Amino acid sequence: MAQDSPTFSPLYRQIKSLIMQGLETGEWRPGEAIPSESELAERFSVSQGTVRKAVDEMAAENLLIRRQGKGTFVASHNDPRAFFRFLRLIPISGGVEPSHSMPLECWRAKAGPEAARVLQINIGEPIIVVRRLLQFSGKTVVVDEIYLPGEVFAGLTLDILKDYQGSLYSLFETRFGVRMIRAEERIRAVAADRVSAELLNVEEGAPLLSVERVSYTYGEKPVEWRRGLYSTAEHCYLNELS
């Protein structure tokens, strides 16, 4: 027999949607605790187990963080544990190195066809372009070019970037209320152009990793397009497959 209710959605998913709404509307902000499971159960008139299943899924998606005895918290890029969530670069020699972001430029532009397509905006709409370096132990390992929709990040300047201590996504979150949830990276090998070669201190034409990233916020909305060139002389991109 055919499926009885083609749009069947279990209760816990509806609860999940309601909690998602609370995140999107800012009812509960990154870093804050959401109400306890029993409170949510009462508010939504379901059993605690059903709330639990909704929260379980969201915790698995890195949207919420559970801490036994304390509560359930909205995930935040300010949390130092989240720092390497999107940066898969590690030193070949092993160990952990201090990293540092060094913004170079920040200017306004109009979206070309490609940026418009990726960011799902119209051609000609304002965008912001950022160029920056990423350094490990003082050595430049990544040169990034970052394209942001101007509407969302209105007011972003080089000074803001330079002054901010912490990761870029932490800045986006606290200053612009934009929380990156998910990203896709497309990786290729390319030859270093003259400018990048100089910045990365490698020969012109040396092989580099080209990492193109599109980041999404709530509702699968793309809000960042980034292209990075990684020098893999002393670092490598680590990926866990499972």
Partner DNA sequence: GAGTGGTCTAGACCACTGC
Partner DNA sequence: CAGTGGTCTAGACCACTCG
**Which residues contact DNA (rule: CB under 7 A)?**
1, 3-5, 8, 10-13, 34, 36-39, 46-50, 52-53, 66-72
In whole angstroms, give the CA distance from residue 186 to residue 107: 25
Binding at 96: pick from DNA, a second copy, none (beta carbon under 5-8 Å per type): none
Site string for a second copy, 77-106 (x = CB under 8 A): --------xx-x---x--------------
Query: Residue 80 corresponds to which amino acid?
Result: P
Give the CB-side neighbour count of residue 241, counting CA atoms within 13 A. 1
Shorter beta-carbon distance to DNA: residue 12 or 230: 12
Q: Which does 185 bind (CB under 5 to 8 A by kind): DNA, a second copy, none?
A: a second copy
Residue 225's identity, in one-letter code, is W
- Other CB atoms within 10 A of residue 159 CB: 10
Which one of a second copy, DNA, none is in contact with 48 (Cβ closer than 5 to 8 A by kind)? Answer: DNA
**Residue with smaller CB distance to a second copy, 126 or 207:** 207
- Kindly state the tokens that stand for 33: 């605790």
How far apart are the C-alpha atoms of 26 and 195, rounded to whole Å? 42
- For the bound state, the minimum distance from the C-beta of residue 67 to DNA, rounded and expressed in Å, comes to 6
Query: 217 CB contacts (<8 Å, ≥6 apart)?
Result: 178, 179, 180, 181, 223
Q: Could you tell me the smallest distance in angstroms from the CB atom of residue 234 to a second copy? A: 10
Q: Among 206, 203, 210, 214, which Cα is nearest to 230's?
A: 210
HSE-up of residue 32 (Cα within 13 Å, Cβ side):
10
Stretch that binds a second copy, among 107-115, 130-138, 205-213, 219-227 (CB under 8 A): 205-213
232 touches a second copy by CB under 8 A: yes
What is the C-alpha separation between 218 and 181, in angstroms, rounded?
A: 7
Nearest-angstrom CA–CA distance, 51 and 13: 9
Q: Is residue 126 helix, strand or coil?
A: strand
Of 3 and 239, nearer to DNA (C-beta) is: 3
Least CB distance from residue 71 to a second copy, whole Å?
19
Please choose, out of 6-14, 100-108, 119-127, 188-196, the segment that lies near a second copy by the rule CB under 8 A: 188-196
Q: Which does 173 bind (CB under 5 to 8 A by kind): DNA, a second copy, none?
A: none
CA distance 173 to 170: 5
Q: What residues line the site for a second copy (CB under 8 A)? A: 60-62, 85-86, 88, 92, 181-191, 205-209, 213, 230, 232, 236-242
